[in-house]
């Protein structure tokens, strides 16, 4: 039997559905045999994609890696595997920019297994009403001292990008060479500085999974205004359920600023794509798998019809319909080769700036310099 090595990230949402799907009788009888390995979330966010593709046939990746992957020529374009018409249909069926985010240099490079973006997580049992605007988030922070920013790893930079989008200037979107204007940048930095000063110490070094797990089991964090949504924490294995809502807006009716996450399945150059593998991957993208099988195995679907399915929302505390608007309008990061390095360095610098209460203009100049340094040749988003 044809055997494939595959790699995903180490969380039930990233692993369980894929591992279970690989054991389905239809695949077991016709092949290929797919063995899924796991890597930590931090490796998923930063490990060089070319190295992974040299060792695995299928690789679960985040869309900002596609520029790096194209530079390393390590993934197969989906149009060559499935045809352009089929990929266009999948893009239309995917919620928000879930599939479009994997398009770079004229091709798509991964199938959107999973859709996610930063949303608002709350302990609804500990607060009176869910804030909708950033001013309301600040008021709750000042009143309680229990509003947490997600700042660890790459998330300080991701939160900065998201708030800029909410404030009307999606970074590097109008001008790919300019991260953000000084006017918008100052407003975003000042807001984050104010919130960071009161963000509980207990979660400052935790990734999104750690923050959500802490919120479910402790009472010192009642709100995280921007954290990648994990439907699992609507019904956690221990602790209190979390409520998830759209990301905050600058003004009523404005854009819920949020930076797209989620994961896609990339097919490495080393992989021999058989008709059976092709059918298996398309089954994972289909309505039945996305609405029933994947959520039934702790996954988070990428199809729009799944996010609006009444039964799925009833099972998961309206997680999907409460955050779908944010996902539809999610900001797509730059994807040029070099972006991942910028994201990591910018986050470390922002954490230091918050600690030192550095002046906004100096911070923005440094962020722009880092962005320019990592812009890379070509510069396609």
On whether the CB atoms of residues 229 and 244 are closer than 8 A, the answer is: yes
312 and 277 share a domain?
A: yes
Domain annotation covers residue 379: no
Domain annotation covers residue 47: yes
Domain annotation covers residue 329: no
On whether the CB atoms of residues 118 and 162 are closer than 8 A, the answer is: yes
On whether the CB atoms of residues 342 and 179 are closer than 8 A, the answer is: no
> Which tokens belong to 71?
């530079």
143 and 111 share a domain?
A: no
Give the pLDDT of the chain (381 residues) as one tens digit per residue: 689 999 999 989 999 999 999 999 888 777 789 999 998 877 666 788 999 999 999 999 999 999 999 999 999 999 999 999 999 999 999 999 999 999 999 999 999 999 999 999 999 999 999 999 999 999 999 999 999 999 999 999 999 999 999 999 999 999 999 999 999 999 999 999 999 999 999 999 999 999 999 999 999 999 999 999 999 999 988 899 999 999 999 999 999 999 999 999 999 999 999 999 999 999 999 999 999 999 999 999 999 999 999 999 999 999 999 999 999 999 999 999 999 999 999 999 999 999 999 999 999 999 999 999 998 644 555
Domain annotation covers residue 357: yes
40 and 126 share a domain?
A: no
Determine phi and psi for 173, rounding to 5 degrees.
Answer: -85, -45
Q: DSSP secondary-structure letter at 75?
A: B
Predicted local confidence at residue 42, as pLDDT: 73
144 and 227 share a domain?
A: yes
Predicted local confidence at residue 2, as pLDDT: 81
Distance CA 260, CA 240 (A): 26
343 and 197 share a domain?
A: yes
207 and 73 share a domain?
A: no
Which residue, of 291, 320, 349, is where some domain finishes? 320
Domain annotation covers residue 325: no
198 and 77 share a domain?
A: no
Domain annotation covers residue 327: no
155 and 247 share a domain?
A: yes
10 and 82 share a domain?
A: yes
Q: Which helix (H) or strand (E) element contains residue 371?
A: helix 360-373
> Which tokens belong to 59?
């690789």
Distance CA 9, CA 304 (A): 23
Distance CA 216, CA 174 (A): 39
On whether the CB atoms of residues 98 and 261 are closer than 8 A, the answer is: no
Predicted local confidence at residue 377, as pLDDT: 45
Q: Which helix (H) or strand (E) element contains residue 335?
A: none
Q: What is the domain count for the chain? A: 2
Domain annotation covers residue 156: yes
Q: Which of 247, 265, 266, 267 is nearest to 257 (CA)?
A: 247
Domain annotation covers residue 152: yes
154 and 265 share a domain?
A: no
Domain range for 101? 3-116+260-320
244 and 232 share a domain?
A: yes
We report the CATH number of the domain holding residue 313 as 3.40.190.10
Predicted local confidence at residue 380, as pLDDT: 56
The total of other beta-carbon atoms located within 10 Å of residue 77's CB is 18
Predicted local confidence at residue 225, as pLDDT: 98
144 and 217 share a domain?
A: yes
């Amino acid at each position: 039997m044809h055997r494939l090595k595959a790699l995903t990230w180490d969380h039930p949402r990233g692993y369980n559905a894929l591992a279970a799907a690989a054991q389905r009788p239809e695949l077991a009888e016709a092949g290929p045999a797919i063995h899924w390995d796991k890597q930590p979330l931090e490796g998923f966010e930063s490990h060089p994609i070319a190295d992974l593709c040299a060792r695995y046939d299928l690789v679960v990746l985040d869309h900002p890696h596609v520029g790096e992957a194209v530079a390393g020529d390590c993934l197969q374009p989906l149009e060559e595997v499935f045809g352009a018409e089929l990929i266009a249909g999948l893009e239309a069926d995917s919620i928000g920019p879930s599939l479009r985010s994997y398009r770079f240099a004229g091709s798509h490079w991964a199938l959107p297994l999973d859709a996610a973006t930063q949303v608002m997580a709350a302990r609804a049992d500990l607060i009176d009403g869910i804030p909708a605007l950033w001013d309301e988030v600040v008021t709750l922070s000042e009143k309680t001292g229990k509003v947490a920013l997600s700042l660890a790893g790459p998330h300080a930079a991701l939160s900065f990008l998201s708030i800029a989008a909410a404030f009307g200037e999606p970074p590097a979107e109008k001008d790919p060479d300019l991260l953000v204007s000084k006017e918008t940048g100052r407003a975003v930095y000042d807001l984050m500085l104010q919130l960071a000063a009161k963000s509980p110490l207990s979660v400052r070094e935790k990734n999104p999974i750690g923050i959500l797990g802490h919120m479910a089991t402790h009472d010192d964090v009642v709100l995280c205004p921007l954290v990648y949504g994990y439907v699992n924490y609507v019904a956690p294995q221990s602790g209190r359920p979390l409520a998830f809502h759209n990301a905050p807006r600058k003004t009523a009716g404005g854009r819920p600023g949020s930076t797209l996450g989620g994961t896609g399945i990339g097919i490495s150059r080393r992989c021999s794509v058989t008709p059976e593998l092709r059918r298996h991957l398309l089954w994972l993208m289909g309505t039945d798998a996305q609405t029933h099988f994947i959520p039934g195995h702790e996954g988070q679907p990428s199809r729009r019809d799944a996010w609006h399915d009444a039964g799925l929302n009833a099972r998961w505390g309206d997680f999907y319909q409460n955050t779908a608007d944010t996902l539809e309008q999610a900001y797509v990061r730059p994807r040029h080769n070099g972006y991942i390095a910028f994201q990591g360095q910018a986050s470390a610098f922002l954490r230091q700036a918050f600690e030192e209460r550095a002046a906004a203009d100096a911070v923005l100049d440094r962020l722009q310099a880092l962005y320019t340094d990592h812009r890379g040749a070509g510069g396609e988003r």
